[in-house]
């Protein structure tokens, strides 16, 4: 059997290894446009490769995969994050689970993963053709019994040109996982400030995310913002990255925030408001919020009355910012959109209209929040395709 894999990235190389193990007498040709296979894997996780997640902080797959959760449920029944752990361990890669549920190689070196894949492909007899860009997958289908497309994501339609001539539904690609630019906000002067438990949302939408928030010199970043950028990737693209961001600096409801403020006020009536604040709010941020709530810097807790209390609780749970543009999250960025999931059979990942054509990885309309979920998707889909082809 002759099998072509288009794209020597995470999904493509993983699939090629598993294909050749199952079908040793088959020809597996991997075509890679770039000079080096697995170039992106080499820079994942800041060069450390966050290759999966324990999924312990995830209550539903939709939380991790804003696009493709149902497909992921299906492919995980064939190859899950636990299988990923076992697979790499069996291959001699010691893994570590961090407190934040992210999994890395103990070597903290993504090149260990790259070199492992290259050596396995070499040993098994997978032919990797680097520097060869496939211009037409349709032509490849005439030459090979099966073609696996693992060309990854691309924020522009140009990255999907090799699929022209095929009868496929496409979802317009837009970027996901980015930081928020707040060019008009003085909060940028608090760059470096981190608040551990925030809740962020976009006004007039249901998009909401929880987690730590980082103030940067251009606006806001951190896990809560990155998750929100992922959930709202398409909405934000369509709005030209103009939206109203609502920040709850406490992660708690208004009633609880009111109670906390009342206690502080009761315990410190003669003290300055700026000097006594909820424990989770850093001092610099509190000073900024007090001023934004139009409470005088020399006001004491006993002086601000219910009006002042209302202003403070309102700013803590409903602080408003005008989002104007997105920044780049250098650690990771992925594409929302690509080949529509309606094109494929969820069980096998084979294309419904083109038998023998398979898709795996970010080329599909599947993407995740940060934390190792994107690579997990690539391993699981790559594995699923290898099983599907070998079972044919």
Is 44 one of the binding residues for ligand FAD (CB under 6 A)?
Answer: yes
The smaller minimum CB distance to ligand FAD, of residues 40 and 120, is found at 40
Is 10 one of the binding residues for ligand FAD (CB under 6 A)?
Answer: yes
Minimum Å gap between C-beta 41 and ligand FAD is 6
Is 29 one of the binding residues for ligand FAD (CB under 6 A)?
Answer: no
Number of Cβ within a 10 Å radius of residue 378: 25
Is 8 one of the binding residues for ligand FAD (CB under 6 A)?
Answer: yes
Is 42 one of the binding residues for ligand FAD (CB under 6 A)?
Answer: no
The smaller minimum CB distance to ligand FAD, of residues 232 and 378, is found at 378
Is 284 one of the binding residues for ligand FAD (CB under 6 A)?
Answer: no
Is 308 one of the binding residues for ligand FAD (CB under 6 A)?
Answer: no
* 212's tokens: 């730590």
Side by side, which strands form the sheet with 102-105? 52-53, 102-105, 95-97
Is 148 one of the binding residues for ligand FAD (CB under 6 A)?
Answer: no
Distance from C-alpha of 201 to C-alpha of 374, rounded to nearest angstrom: 23
Is the Cβ–Cβ distance between 158 and 152 less than 8 Å? no
Is 4 one of the binding residues for ligand FAD (CB under 6 A)?
Answer: no
Is 374 one of the binding residues for ligand FAD (CB under 6 A)?
Answer: yes
Is 11 one of the binding residues for ligand FAD (CB under 6 A)?
Answer: yes
Distance of CA 370 to the CA centre of its chain: 4
Distance from C-alpha of 261 to C-alpha of 206, rounded to nearest angstrom: 28
Minimum Å gap between C-beta 377 and ligand FAD is 7
Is 151 one of the binding residues for ligand FAD (CB under 6 A)?
Answer: yes
Is 7 one of the binding residues for ligand FAD (CB under 6 A)?
Answer: yes
* 230's tokens: 């992922």
Minimum Å gap between C-beta 44 and ligand FAD is 3
The smaller minimum CB distance to ligand FAD, of residues 43 and 309, is found at 43
Minimum Å gap between C-beta 124 and ligand FAD is 18
Minimum Å gap between C-beta 383 and ligand FAD is 12
* CA-to-CA separations, 270 to 9, 277, 287, 306, 391, in angstroms, rounded: 63, 14, 17, 16, 76
Distance from C-alpha of 277 to C-alpha of 264, rounded to nearest angstrom: 7
The smaller minimum CB distance to ligand FAD, of residues 93 and 272, is found at 93
- Paired sense of beta strands 219-221 and 178-181, if any: antiparallel
Backbone angles phi, psi at 274, to 5 degrees: -65, -20
- Angle between helix 81-90 and helix 373-391 axes, rounded to 10 deg: 80
Distance from C-alpha of 154 to C-alpha of 339, rounded to nearest angstrom: 11
Q: Is 389 helix (H, G, I), strand (E, B) or coil?
A: helix
Distance from C-alpha of 107 to C-alpha of 334, rounded to nearest angstrom: 25
The smaller minimum CB distance to ligand FAD, of residues 37 and 308, is found at 37
Helices (H), the chain: 10-22, 39-43, 61-64, 69-76, 81-90, 110-124, 137-143, 223-231, 233-238, 254-267, 283-292, 305-317, 373-391
Helix, strand and coil in the chain, % to nearest 5: 40, 25, 35
Distance from C-alpha of 60 to C-alpha of 69, rounded to nearest angstrom: 9
97 to 136: interface string for ligand FAD, x by CB under 6 A: ------------------------------------xx--
Is 362 one of the binding residues for ligand FAD (CB under 6 A)?
Answer: yes
Minimum Å gap between C-beta 313 and ligand FAD is 38
Minimum Å gap between C-beta 158 and ligand FAD is 10
Minimum Å gap between C-beta 137 and ligand FAD is 8
Minimum Å gap between C-beta 228 and ligand FAD is 18
Residue nearest to ligand FAD (CB): 9
Is 79 one of the binding residues for ligand FAD (CB under 6 A)?
Answer: no
Is 166 one of the binding residues for ligand FAD (CB under 6 A)?
Answer: no
What part of residues 328-357 is at the interface with ligand FAD (CB under 6 A)? 331-334
CA dihedral 121, 124, 130, 133 (to 10 degrees): -100
Is 2 one of the binding residues for ligand FAD (CB under 6 A)?
Answer: no
Residues that bind ligand FAD (CB under 6 A): 6-12, 31-34, 39-41, 43-45, 49-50, 133-134, 150-152, 162, 331-334, 361-363, 372-375, 378
């Amino acid at each position: 059997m002759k099998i072509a894999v288009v794209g020597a990235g995470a999904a493509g190389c993983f699939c090629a290894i598993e294909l050749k193990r199952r079908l040793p007498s088959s020809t597996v040709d991997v075509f890679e446009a770039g000079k080096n296979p697995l170039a992106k894997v080499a820079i994942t996780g800041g060069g450390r490769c966050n290759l999966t997640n324990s999924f312990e902080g995830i209550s539903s797959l939709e939380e991790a995969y804003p696009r493709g959760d149902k497909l992921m449920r299906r492919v995980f029944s064939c190859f899950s994050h636990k299988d990923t752990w076992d697979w790499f361990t069996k291959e001699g890669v010691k893994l570590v689970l961090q407190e934040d549920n992210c999994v890395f190689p103990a070597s903290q070196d993504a090149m260990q993963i790259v070199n492992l894949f290259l050596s396995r492909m070499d040993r098994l007899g997978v032919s990797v053709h680097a520097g060869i860009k496939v211009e037409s997958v349709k032509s490849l289908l005439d030459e090979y019994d099966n073609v696996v497309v693992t060309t990854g994501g691309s924020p522009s339609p140009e990255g999907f040109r090799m699929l022209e001539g095929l009868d496929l539904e496409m979802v317009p690609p837009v970027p996901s996982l980015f930081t928020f630019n707040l060019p008009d906000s003085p909060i940028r002067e608090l760059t470096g400030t981190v608040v551990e438990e925030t809740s962020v949302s976009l006004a007039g939408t249901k998009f909401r995310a929880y987690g730590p928030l980082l103030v940067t010199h251009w606006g806001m970043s951190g896990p809560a913002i990155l998750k929100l950028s992922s959930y709202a990737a398409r909405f934000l693209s369509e709005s030209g990255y103009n939206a109203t961001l609502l920040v709850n600096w406490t992660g708690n409801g208004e009633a609880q925030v009111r109670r906390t403020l009342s206690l502080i006020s009761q315990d410190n009536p003669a003290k300055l408001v700026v000097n006594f604040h909820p424990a989770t709010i850093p001092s610099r941020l509190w000073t900024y919020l007090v001023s934004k709530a139009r409470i005088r810097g020399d006001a004491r807790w006993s002086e601000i009355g219910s009006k002042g209390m209302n202003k403070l609780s309102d700013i803590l749970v409903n602080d408003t910012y005008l989002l104007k543009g997105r920044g780049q999250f250098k650690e990771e960025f992925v594409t929302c959109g690509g080949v529509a999931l309606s094109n494929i059979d969820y069980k096998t990942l084979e294309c419904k209209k083109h038998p023998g054509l398979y898709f795996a990885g970010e080329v599909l309309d599947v993407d995740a929040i940060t934390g190792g979920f994107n690579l997990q998707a690539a391993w699981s889909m790559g594995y699923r395709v290898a099983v599907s082809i070998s079972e044919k």
